[in-house]
Amino acid sequence: MRTPMVAGNWKLNGSRESATSLAREVAATPVAGVDVVVCPVSVHTAEVAEVLEGTDVKLGAQNACAHEGGAYTGEVSSTMLAEFGCEYVIIGHSERRSLFGDDNESCAARHQAVMAAGLTSIFCVGETLEDREAGNTMAVVDAQLQAVFDVCGTQAFDGAVIAYEPVWAIGTGVTASPEQAQEVHAHIREFVAAQDQQTAAKLRILYGGSVNAGNAQELFGNTDIDGGLIGGAALKSADFLAVCQAAAAQA
């Protein structure tokens, strides 16, 4: 039985003040049976960590460098994040891939560094609308995952989390239908199972892309959907907690 997970991706939002209040509000309502994670902007990590100490809410980050340290201006390493109590790192988010040049190979290297540091990678995959319309959804997702297997071997996702986020659904208000999402999630599990069955059976696969309090339950009700990666709806505690409750209802 997989414990559902809901992770809030705060993206480039908030101030020291608003980030800590949001964390405080989320932590004030424990949601039993769900792993709840928040991923603030990296400069807010220390203060959010302080707020979350002793609560059930876990801390994550939005990216991490493939290297431990050295001449990598602007990057943050997994070990540095771990020092603040970060347990999760989002890798390969579509905004990183489309706006900042993170490609399949560098995402695989980042994933490897996160896992090697003892943190959990939330590895994002997903197709553009063009890919979907051309019938290439599974091929795109497979290539994103295969790059990680190529670098990390058959156990690449042992203990990791995968997030399926169709690019056309992120921040658009258009969500994948539960059937569309389940189809890709089942495919991802099979793809991972072809490398390692045990990893696939326990692998949490989150859906992301315009999830909100209104559509979460229907999405999370599917066999291979183990929770969500939430953007916009993670910025208001009431909305985010409602999504967490929807995941708890499936637990």
Positions marked catalytic: 93, 165
Q: Does 4 bind ligand PGA (CB under 6 A)?
A: no
Burial of 12 per CB tally in 10 Å (0-12, 13-18, 19+): exposed
Q: Does 226 bind ligand PGA (CB under 6 A)?
A: no
**Contacting range for ligand PGA; rule: CB under 6 A; set: 28-36, 97-105, 191-199, 227-235:** 227-235
Cβ 222 vs Cβ 184: under 8 Å? no
Q: Does 209 bind ligand PGA (CB under 6 A)?
A: yes
Q: By C-beta, is 155 or 222 nearer to ligand PGA?
A: 222
Nearest approach in angstroms of CB 210 to ligand PGA is 4
Q: Does 227 bind ligand PGA (CB under 6 A)?
A: no
Q: By C-beta, is 44 or 96 nearer to ligand PGA?
A: 96
Q: Which of 119, 147, 156, 211 binds ligand PGA (CB under 6 A)?
A: 211
- How far apart (Å, rounded) are the C-alpha atoms in residues 148 and 1? 25
Burial of 243 per CB tally in 10 Å (0-12, 13-18, 19+): buried
- Scanning residues 147 to 186, which ones bind ligand PGA (CB under 6 A)? 165, 170-171
Nearest approach in angstroms of CB 231 to ligand PGA is 2
Q: Which of 219, 232, 243, 244 binds ligand PGA (CB under 6 A)?
A: 232
Q: Does 60 bind ligand PGA (CB under 6 A)?
A: no
**Contacting range for ligand PGA; rule: CB under 6 A; set: 125-133, 139-147, 223-231, 241-249:** 223-231
Question: Measuring CA to CA, which residue among 5, 56, 67 is closest to residue 203?
Answer: 5
Question: Could you list the residues that contact ligand PGA (CB under 6 A)?
Answer: 9, 165, 170-171, 208-211, 229-233
